[in-house]
Amino acid sequence: MPMANPAQNVWITYNGEVYNADKLRPELEALGYSFRSTSDTEVILHGYEAWGCEIVPRLRGMFAFAIHDFRSPSAPQFLLARDHMGIKPVYYAQTPSAFVFASELKSLLASGLISKEISASGLVGYLLMGSVPNPLTIYADAQALEPSSYLHTSLPLHSTLNPVQYWSLPTGVSNVRTLDEAVEQTRALLEEAVRIRLVSDVPLGAFLSGGLDSSAVVALMRRATQGTIRTCSMVFEEAEYSEAPYARAVAEHLGTEHFERVITADDLLKEFENILYSLDQPSVDGVNTYFVSQTARQAGLTVALSGLGGDELFGGYPNTFSDVPRVHRALSLAQSVPMGATMGKTAIRFFPNAPKWSRISDALDRPASLASAYLTRRGLFSPAEVKQLVHPDVWAAAQFDPVAHVAGRTNGNGGGDTFAWVSRAELRTYTHHQLLRDTDVMSMAHSLEVRVPLLDRQLVALLLKYPATVKVIGNERPKPLLGAAVQDLLPRIVLDRRDKQGFTFPFAKWLRAAMQTKVTFVSQQIESSVPIRKESFKQMFDQFQSGQLHWSRVWALTALGCLR
């Protein structure tokens, strides 16, 4: 519901949570503002009255809000803002008749003021990266407000809006040099980040997969409260994908009320169309978040904490953090030798037909850079493959350069600290465009609020400045710094794990079964709304069904069925 100030001349519409509202309130009271409620909404409202746009960088939390300011009748003002890390989304469109904004693209479409015309750049960006890259959306008429940005303008709108970036991921290196010092600082901020997210008037719990990130969050919750903590996990019949023994050990060790739900291929088939509808715009992921959010609601939760962000900050993707600098060196070497790139591309033809080799082959045609190397690891389809997938007019119209996109969000080649560079790349692309977006739409589909303490902006700022030597000291297990920071809180079965199991499903097997039934539905959806070559979809579907293609590629095309 909108809220107004007492004079009824400043109005706010707001989605999210501000965790430092209790610290800002006394400042505003000292300036003469009185409060009629305890809500953080009123803190933002009075903060804007007092400080204008400067209220936005002062907020600590997850938020998207719009403020209409009519204090000057001759020059009313409008502010649209998004949080530092991009946890809460906001989309907008400037049309001839109105300016519209919403938390989901479906809402913009429902206004009837924008069309369903597909954005060539958004579609190509999606196929290259596995998610639609901000500020693009899959629709030509709509844009996403970037994380840590706001729009501020006078009304009525007469010109193109230019977002202002009020914060960026920090660069540079802190003076911490020992693991003990880093552990102490990290532990203090971890405890604070979790504690401030425990304020709630409704049942509160956590996702608990059994991995280090979610286990650390639950352990820090237990340290902050003696009250009831409800944890929820998904269990699979396929034992190789199940982390249930680890989750149960953590729940027993910390004394939580633990809820488990068995998820099967039949559940995917049953929920298939709801999953596509909930996506809002296509993503190569999202199914796991749909089911864990559904599981949390069945456990009686309306607010849940998640360990999202731990891998990106603490180096939980060992292959990515090591492969990117390795591929960068190899590309640089190949291009420094006469005919090196040509010989490399020739040699690749004899390798197995794996997607990564296609991406590396394309990278040999570009100047070597960390951004180019990152895309060989994190990209979905190579440019050459995308050109074959989409209609020729779409490829010709698209204006999206994935290398420039990544480089522009990571400060070039990283100043020598490739660990921090990869973290920034993960946070500003994969995390923003995919993980957080999927988490928001899939949790909201089940009326669940998900809080992500590991992406607290103060914790992020601290960790990005740590030298790589601190974050990988010993390197005997994944994420050694995080493990050391919570080693007194968790059972040895979790701390002593050497494997890294992602938050994944038996998805190849399940999707293969589901697609036997749903392929006609998906084909019809794509054919009616998306400018891709239908023969390409059929070819990839056949390759997937015969076991020749990774599930992520056929799911990327299947997810286009969300566009109705």
Report the side by side order of strands in the sheet with 449-451: 257-263, 230-236, 204-207, 303-305, 449-451
8 Å CB contact between 127 and 388: no
Distance CA 442, CA 305 (A): 14
CA distance 434 to 404: 19
Q: How many CB atoms lie within 10 A of CB 357?
A: 18
How many whole angstroms separate alpha carbon 478 and alpha carbon 216? 13
Contact call for residues 398 and 120 (beta carbons, < 8 A): yes
The whole-angstrom distance between residue 354's C-alpha and the CA centroid of its chain comes to 26
CA distance 153 to 425: 31
> SS3 for 199?
coil
Cβ–Cβ under 8 Å, residues 389 and 560: no
Q: What pLDDT was estimated at residue 413? A: 60
| CA neighbor of 210 nearest in space, from 182, 257, 247 | 247
Q: In DSSP terms, which residues pair with 92 in a beta bridge?
A: 101, 143
State the amino acid at position 151 in one-letter form.
Answer: L
Q: In what order do the strands lie in the sheet with 149-154?
A: 3-4, 10-18, 61-69, 77-82, 149-154, 164-165
Residue pLDDT tens, the chain, 564 long: 799 999 999 999 999 999 999 999 999 999 999 999 999 999 999 999 999 999 999 999 999 999 999 999 888 999 999 999 999 999 999 988 889 999 999 999 999 999 999 999 999 999 999 999 999 999 999 999 999 999 999 887 777 788 999 999 988 888 887 889 999 999 999 999 999 999 877 778 999 999 999 999 999 999 999 889 999 999 888 877 778 899 999 999 999 999 999 999 899 999 999 999 999 999 998 999 999 999 999 999 999 999 999 999 999 887 888 889 988 888 888 777 655 555 555 555 545 556 666 777 777 778 889 999 999 888 999 888 899 999 999 999 999 999 999 999 987 565 568 899 999 999 999 999 999 999 999 999 999 999 999 999 999 999 999 988 888 755 567 789 999 999 999 999 998 876 665 556 788 888 888 888 887 888 887 877 888 888 888 888 888 888 888 888 899 999 998 887
| Ranges assigned E (strand) in 359-489 | 449-451
Q: Give the CA distances from residue 103 to residues 140, 433, 466, in Å, rounded to whole numbers and listed in that order.
A: 17, 14, 34
Do 209 and 243 contact (CB within 8 A), yes or no? yes
Two tokens at 386?
């995308």
Q: Distance (Å, rounded) from C-alpha 12 to C-alpha 24?
A: 17
H-type alpha helices, 233-280:
244-254, 265-279
Which of 54, 35, 84, 36 is CA-nearest to residue 452?
84
Dihedral, CA of residue 438, residue 481, residue 148 and residue 22, to nearest 10:
100
DSSP3 helix / strand / coil % (the chain, rounded to 5): 50, 15, 35
The C-alpha atoms of residue 424 and residue 60 are separated, in whole angstroms, by 19
Residue 446 DSSP symbol = T
φ and ψ at residue 66, rounded to 5 degrees: -125, 135
Strand partners of residue 204: 303
Distance from C-alpha of 515 to C-alpha of 272, rounded to nearest angstrom: 10
Tell me how far apart the alpha carbons of residues 473 and 461 are, in angstroms, rounded to a whole number: 20
For tokens 């049309």, name the residue.
Answer: 95
The token pair at 304 is 């849940």
- What letter does residue 432 receive in the DSSP assignment? I
Q: What is the pLDDT of residue 354?
A: 62
Residue ranges and CATH numbers for the domains of the chain are: 3-165 (3.60.20.10), 179-315+424-495 (3.40.50.620), 506-564 (no CATH)
CB 141 within 8 A of CB 95: yes
Other CB atoms within 10 Å distance of the CB of residue 13: 15
- Tokens 């103060």 locate to 458
